[in-house]
Amino acid sequence: MKILITGATGLIGGEIVSACHKKGYSVHYLSTSKSKLQNRENYKGFYWNPNKNKIDLACFKGVDAVINLAGVSISKRWTATNKKKILNSRVKSLQTLNEAIGKVNHNIASFVSASAIGIYPNSYTNYYEEDCQEVDDSFLGRVVEKWEEAADQLKIHGFPVSKIRTGLVLSEDGGALPQMAKPIRYYAGAVFGNGEQWQSWIHIKDIASLYLHIIEKKLEGVYNGVAPNSVTNLKLTHKIADIYNKPILLPNIPMAALKLVLGDMAYILYASQRVSAKKVEESGFQYSFTNICLALKDILQEKSQFQEELA
Ligand SMILES: NC(=O)c1ccc[n+]([C@@H]2O[C@H](COP(=O)([O-])OP(=O)(O)OC[C@H]3O[C@@H](n4cnc5c(N)ncnc54)[C@H](OP(=O)(O)O)[C@@H]3O)[C@@H](O)[C@H]2O)c1
């Protein structure tokens, strides 16, 4: 199998590339950065610039499936300029792929696009399954809605299109977890708000396997990319602290305080989405990590022991 991946050089993409290579799949990838292009037998890079609708059509040669992860990080100040980049990078990437696929002879049998649980309305009580039609009344909710609409346009090519509404991806190499863990290790960790907001997490290995599962089974539609047991921010913070054997000494941080530092982007730390993994489980997917303690131990503990030995 040969898979074309956009955003392959990012956090989730890197893990998917490793998972592909373990299975003997080869990878073509599109990068917006010429310096990231490599040309190995099972890992071949092609340049694109979705902003200018530019793409190297050779990237589709021999490709059986496409994974779309491209997009500017949402973890930067939500200024008017950055908001435009966050939305446009996602929509234009899908539009560029859509137009390009229309121009080539292809054998694509499956198309999977990243999406996010930020589409679900902020709620302490709701339990979200994929058939929820409501959209969170926030910048993020509207971005994800437009992102999914752009992905759905690819259906005109006749292959199954699916969208993985991804939760908080836990990894030692990037994303939110290292940012949360660092202050905790130095006695400066704190719970956000009242800590009751749900955080629907997934281990990096599981999100990578889920992408391949959806491709292999040629599934279509929406799938929640979260582990079966969401936790509150309070629990997540304390479980990270347990790994490092550190207390949480500081008082909870109110949203207004963090908004002064991060601006509107602080919203992502306080938004609550409790999201179901039932549809994914029923599709036959086997999670490696369903328990937050075991997931955190796997990611943080080895590193923590190593750091203590060095200290
Ligand atoms: N990590 C999470 O917890 C999480 C949660 C929910 C949803 N997601 C979504 O899943 C996708 C992958 O997440 P990730 O954490 O792996 O993200 P990431 O590490 O930020 O990687 C995203 C990749 O997108 C590409 N990119 C950057 N700017 C771009 C632009 N203007 N146009 C096209 N491509 C651009 C970059 O690859 P090149 O430099 O090679 O072009 C980058 O490596 C993202 O769309 C993200 O929003 C992630």
The ligand 1 atom nearest the CA atom of 168: 3
Q: For residue 25, what pLDDT is reported? A: 98
- Number of domains forming the structure of the chain: 1
Return the H-helix or E-strand segment holding 29.
Answer: strand 26-31
Residue range(s) defining the domain that contains residue 112:
2-169+202-226+276-288
User: Does the C-beta of 271 come closer than 6 Å to ligand 1?
Assistant: no
- Provide DSSP, 108-166: --EEEEEEEGGGSPP-SS-EE-TT-----SSHHHHHHHHHHHHHHGGGGGSS-EEEEEE
Q: Is the residue at 263 inside a domain? A: no
User: Does the C-beta of 93 come closer than 6 Å to ligand 1?
Assistant: yes
Q: Is the residue at 260 inside a domain? A: no
Q: For residue 301, what pLDDT is reported? A: 86
Q: Is the residue at 104 inside a domain? A: yes
Q: Is the residue at 37 inside a domain? A: yes
| Segments of the chain scoring below 50 in pLDDT | none
- Centre of ligand 1 from the C-alpha of residue 249, in Å: 34
One-letter amino acid at 151 equals A
- Centre of ligand 1 from the C-alpha of residue 236, in Å: 24
Q: Is the residue at 237 inside a domain? A: no
- Centre of ligand 1 from the C-alpha of residue 228, in Å: 24
Q: For residue 48, what pLDDT is reported? A: 98
pTM score of the predicted model: 0.97
Q: Which of 4, 5, 6, 11 to mutate to test the pocket of ligand 1 (most atoms within 8 A of CB)?
A: 11
Q: Is the residue at 233 inside a domain? A: no
Q: For residue 309, what pLDDT is reported? A: 59
Q: Are 66 and 2 in contact (CB under 8 A)?
A: no
Q: Is the residue at 132 inside a domain? A: yes
Q: Is the residue at 89 inside a domain? A: yes
CATH of residue 59's domain is 3.40.50.720
Q: For residue 69, what pLDDT is reported? A: 98
d(CA 174, CA 177): 7
- Centre of ligand 1 from the C-alpha of residue 154, in Å: 19
